[in-house]
Amino acid sequence: MANMLKTDRSELITKSQQFMGQYYKLKEAGFISRRGNFFPSVHYPPITMYPRATQTDLFYSYQLPHDRLFDVYAHLPFCQQRCLFCHYPVRLGDRDSEKDIYLNALEKEMDLYLQVLGLRQVKTRSILVGGGTPTFLSPVQLKKFLGFFVKRLDMSCCEQFSYDVDPTTLIGSDGMERLRILRDHGVNRLTIGVQSFNDQTLANMNRHHTVAESLKSIEESRKLGFKLNIEFIFGYPGQTLASWLDDIEMAMTLDVDEIQLYRLKVRAYGDYQGPIRELIEKRSVNALDDDETLPMKKTAIDLLTSHGFKENIRRVFSRTVTDYSRYAWNQCCLLYDQIGFGLTAFSSLRDRFVLNTQSFDEYYAMIADGKLPVNRGLVRSREEQMRWGMILPLKNSFVLKSRFQEDTGGSIEFFRDTIEKLKQYGLLVEDDVKVQTTQLGAFFADEVVQQFHKVEYLPFPCDDYAPGALNPYRGQQS
């Protein structure tokens, strides 16, 4: 593909090779898995490690926030076909009648949740609808969903209404109709999963669209005035540093607001394992190792920052500081209460985490029975609350000391030894007001925050890490 922007890559590549020296040092110190495993920290405890729990366990003594505001998520688990990297439980193919059954259940789940909270509507700060492919509905079904969804929300204070979508459902006459329906219901930001601007990589991923279709979906969405975020995966088998830099160069020429980078996650660490792990283990495809994947990340970040992009929230780059997901910011940086509806959805409610079932059958059966489809979760102890209050904001932005005290009831001094150790290795900086990652720490933000995990919530066993000063098991009992 002809790129409109060509950069001098030799300097970028040299810098990334020099950077790998810091990676080897950190690996030797036990900071990074020496088997090349990677686990992104999204929540604490990690979403897949919650014990079984009931609605009564999880909502007991819960009190609404003072301002009664929530960030709201809804999940629609249907897709055209299975992308090989994807670990989400989704139903594939058209399945129009099952989508109707699911929408009816989702509507009922919202009513059950409102009843539990004693509310008529949920007052929203921000909204995100994701999946699956939440636009993989007929225009009639999409209208039906948005109709009952927004009826149960008070959107008078809602700052952003986002949708996570694939490119295919936004193009053609149905696509245009869907875009209009979204806009007419208040949606103002789209995250489009373009994944790659290389048709061969898309085919290797078993994606159901071409580069031309991705570009068309961006153009059509922009015409209707949506803010746009586009997402990419790096470290995918078959990708090269050159093809990856082509992707980033191409992305920077487009009329989009945010560029989001995901490192390929091979192991699901969850109930459903996507096909990619088996393909790699059977050697049907060759996995890229850290020596190939980390230079992709480093060069992409350097390229984006040299063109005026800033990482406003971890792994999302934008030219304007106000372009970012309010849903992610409110939940992970400000630690505000958030409610999720739908299969696999979760609610993060200040001192507790409530997780919905991953099984379609169980989801339908529990709702038909008049119960929330909740089957796992945790009300955190004071110590776990402090870990959560440290991990989420540190991963995504910074920890404000005054807020930490308010949100967790504890002092940041609880982590003094870990903070000092990470400062010595050039991964954290601290002043009177906040603790945050350095540039190096931000690059390894997942590993930095795993230093604050309790050992039972670490993603890998102790001997995955070298026995150095930064081995996350050091000084903790297993």
| From the list ligand SAM, ligand SF4, none, partner contacted by residue 90 (C-beta under 5 to 8 A by kind) | ligand SF4
389 belongs to the binding site for ligand SAM (CB under 6 A) = no
Q: Is the dihedral of CA 127, 133, 138, 139 positive or negative?
A: positive
In sequence order, the β-bridge partners of residue 318 are 258, 310
In sequence order, the β-bridge partners of residue 124 are 70
Minimum CB distance to ligand SAM, residue 430 (Å) = 31
| From the list ligand SAM, ligand SF4, none, partner contacted by residue 264 (C-beta under 5 to 8 A by kind) | ligand SAM
Interface mask (CB under 6 A) for ligand SAM, residues 93-132, using x and -? -------------------------------------xx-
Residue 41: burial class (beta carbons within 10 Å; 0-12, 13-18, 19+)? buried
Q: How far is CA 179 from CA 118, 136, 414, in A?
A: 34, 12, 49
Q: Which of 167, 193, 342, 393 binds ligand SF4 (CB under 6 A)?
A: 193
Instruction: State the Cα–Cα distance between residues 471 and 343, nearest whole angstrom.
Output: 36
342 belongs to the binding site for ligand SF4 (CB under 6 A) = no
| From the list ligand SF4, ligand SAM, none, partner contacted by residue 152 (C-beta under 5 to 8 A by kind) | none
Minimum CB distance to ligand SF4, residue 160 (Å) = 21
Choose one: 10-18, 99-107, 258-266, 329-337; the region binding ligand SAM (CB under 6 A): 258-266
Residues binding ligand SAM: number (CB under 6 A): 15
Q: Of 424, 427, 403, nearest to 333 (Cα)?
A: 403
Q: Are 418 and 384 in contact (CB under 8 A)?
A: no
167 belongs to the binding site for ligand SF4 (CB under 6 A) = no
Q: Which of 75, 87, 99, 387 binds ligand SAM (CB under 6 A)?
A: 87
Q: Which of 12, 32, 83, 171 binds ligand SF4 (CB under 6 A)?
A: 83
Q: Which of 90, 333, 394, 400 binds ligand SF4 (CB under 6 A)?
A: 90
- Site residues for ligand SAM, window 146-165 (CB under 6 A)? 164
Choose one: 84-92, 237-245, 335-343, 394-402; the region binding ligand SAM (CB under 6 A): 84-92
Residue nearest to ligand SAM (CB): 193
Half-sphere exposure of 132 (CA within 13 A, CB side): 28
* Number of C-beta neighbours around residue 361 at 10 A: 8
Q: Are 164 and 130 in contact (CB under 8 A)?
A: yes
- Among residues 134 and 459, whose Cβ is nearest to ligand SF4? 134
With a CB cutoff of 8 Å and minimum separation 6, the contacts of 119 are 64, 68
Q: Is the dihedral of CA 208, 212, 213, 218 positive or negative?
A: positive
| From the list ligand SAM, ligand SF4, none, partner contacted by residue 233 (C-beta under 5 to 8 A by kind) | ligand SAM
- Among residues 55 and 133, whose Cβ is nearest to ligand SAM? 133
| From the list ligand SAM, ligand SF4, none, partner contacted by residue 231 (C-beta under 5 to 8 A by kind) | ligand SAM
390 belongs to the binding site for ligand SF4 (CB under 6 A) = no
Choose one: 65-73, 82-90, 226-234, 378-386; the region binding ligand SF4 (CB under 6 A): 82-90
Q: Are 239 and 196 in contact (CB under 8 A)?
A: yes
Instruction: State the Cα–Cα distance between residues 223 and 214, nearest whole angstrom.
Output: 14
- Site residues for ligand SAM, window 188-247 (CB under 6 A)? 193, 195, 231, 233
Instruction: State the Cα–Cα distance between residues 340 and 363, nearest whole angstrom.
Output: 14
- State residue 5 phi and psi, 5-degree precision: -120, 125
| From the list ligand SF4, ligand SAM, none, partner contacted by residue 452 (C-beta under 5 to 8 A by kind) | none
With a CB cutoff of 8 Å and minimum separation 6, the contacts of 434 are 398, 399, 400, 401
Q: Which of 38, 59, 70, 88 binds ligand SF4 (CB under 6 A)?
A: 88
261 belongs to the binding site for ligand SAM (CB under 6 A) = no
Minimum CB distance to ligand SAM, residue 182 (Å) = 15
Determine the residue type at 450: Q
84 belongs to the binding site for ligand SF4 (CB under 6 A) = no
End-to-end CA distance of the chain, in Å?
52
- State residue 398 phi and psi, 5-degree precision: -160, 160
Q: Are 229 and 257 in contact (CB under 8 A)?
A: yes
Q: Which of 86, 105, 127, 259 binds ligand SF4 (CB under 6 A)?
A: 86
Instruction: State the Cα–Cα distance between residues 265 and 13, nearest whole angstrom.
Output: 24
191 belongs to the binding site for ligand SF4 (CB under 6 A) = no
With a CB cutoff of 8 Å and minimum separation 6, the contacts of 283 are none
Report CA Rg, the chain.
Answer: 22
Residues making contact with ligand SAM (CB under 6 A): 85-87, 130-131, 133, 164, 166, 193, 195, 231, 233, 262, 264-265
In the complex, the residues that contact ligand SF4 under the rule CB under 6 A are: 79, 82-83, 86, 88, 90, 131-133, 166, 193
